[in-house]
Amino acid sequence: MLHGAAGERLPRRAVFTAGFLIGGAPPYVVAALTDTTAPLLVTLAAAGFGAGVLDPILSTVMYERVPEELRGRVMGASTAGVLLTTPLGGLAAGLLVERIGLTATLLGIGALSCLTTLSPPVFPAWREMDAKPAPAGPVGPAEGISRTGPSTPAPAPGP
């Protein structure tokens, strides 16, 4: 709710990076280094607030950057990728816990999460997240886009 009220006045990339820094590595590191639940609960509550800004920013950027005629495909592919890799992450984590132990796995995942979090401030492609979208022009069929409906055949060349 806070992000909904004030989010559009803040730089997206900075908020996105801060949300990932708060919501990414800290729960893994605290879970690895503490034996009680109180610090973990506080960390998870803070991580929830940090992660809460991620989806609104990503959805906004997708709606601004992806052409309307491709939106269904792009968002569908994005969702499919997330749903496909989620169980693989659980399997990989289980294998790591079995091989190297719980603490080492949590610290390793936390380190990997921290490295991933640093990509928005480092890689130039993420700078476009803060760019204002181009004004919408007339919507028409884009060239080279496949359609599900029938297409109009091109006229046959004359004799």
Write the DSSP symbol of residue 33. H
Q: Give the range with max mean pLDDT: 4-8, 64-68, 91-95, 132-136.
A: 91-95
| Closest residue by Cα to residue 113 from 130, 97, 94, 89 | 89
Residue pLDDT, tens place only, 26-37: 999 999 999 899
pLDDT band at 135 (very low <50, low <70, confident <90, very high): low
Q: Report the distance separating Cα 157 and Cα 64, nearest Å.
A: 40
User: What's the full length of the chain, in residues?
Assistant: 159
pLDDT band at 152 (very low <50, low <70, confident <90, very high): low
Q: Is the distance from CB of 50 to CB of 23 less than 8 angstroms?
A: yes
- Give percent above pLDDT 90 in the chain: 50
Please state at what angle helix 25-33 crosses helix 102-117, rounded to 10 degrees.
160
Burial of 23 (0-12, 13-18, 19+ CB in 10 A): buried
Q: Report the distance separating Cα 21 and Cα 135, nearest Å.
A: 32
